[in-house]
Structure 1
Amino acid sequence: MVILVSEWPAALQEIIEDFQDCFDRMERYELLFEYAKRMPHPLPNEEWTEENRVKGCQSEAHVECIIDANTGFHIRGAADAQLVQGLMAVLAIGVDGLSPSEVAQLTPKFVDEMNIKASLTPSRANGFLNLFEIIRSEADKYAN
């Protein structure tokens, strides 16, 4: 019996597998649109500020990282484009409830495993990586 151990947290591994099961770009887009509807902690438009804006993102996107002593790391975010909202939700769901240390140790390698970069324009891919770095950097501030 072979036991496979993932290098990714369980929720992120599940997302990676969802995207690996997609046959083409359109199917990946449809999956991103589904994830957009599942954003666990939306950030209302009235809370969008220059401070929480994702710089380098093609769309208007805003994100805040919350660390709760009882429930762990959470991402509040929203975007004006459904595709970007889906990318944000992928990250939010993938790290929800982890410790800041666990989030800080993540690498963008999971993006390659998802096979999503080929489906994104270079500017969207860059924005997604900027978003990831914002989240990782915020987690790093609170990592033990």
Structure 2
Amino acid sequence: MDAVGIRKVSELTGLSIDTLRWYEREGLLPLVEREPGGRRRYSPAAVRFVRLVQALRRTGMPVQDVRAFVRMGSGVEWHGRRAALLEEHAEAIERHIAQLQRDLTVVRDKIAHHRELAERGLDCEDEIDLAEHGSRAKSPDDSEAGGTGDTTEE
């Protein structure tokens, strides 16, 4: 791939042109080449770097950390620092994924709960009753199974 303009980078990455310009102004992208008329040109390496910045931002890396990563330079002496910053961020992503997994379990449990309520013919008010009283509300089928549904003793 040859160097491409900002519109093509926007198409390739899904980032808006305004976001790409903002990334550049904020120092999140290395120097983007310009044509004599001032139009931006992104080399294949620059497009890969845009995708890296996009991934870092999408996964929650603060702007100042992305900027620090960019400003570290590319010499051999910086590889360890860059790797350390990325490792720290990867650990934060893993913690976030673990929390999302726990949250997903809660949501799936709630889905199962609501499906059970639907199968038993209970509405959400019965769910509130369950939560408040710590016992399962009787479904309409419970009274037909051999009683009046009245649980009070005479």
Q: TM-score range by the shorter chain?
A: under 0.3
Which has the bigger relative contact order, CA under 8 A and spacing at least 6? Answer: 1
Larger gyration radius, structure 1 or structure 2:
2
Give TM-score scaled by structure 1 length.
Answer: 0.26
Counting strand residues as a fraction of each chain, which structure ranks higher? 1
TM-score, normalised to structure 2, is: 0.24
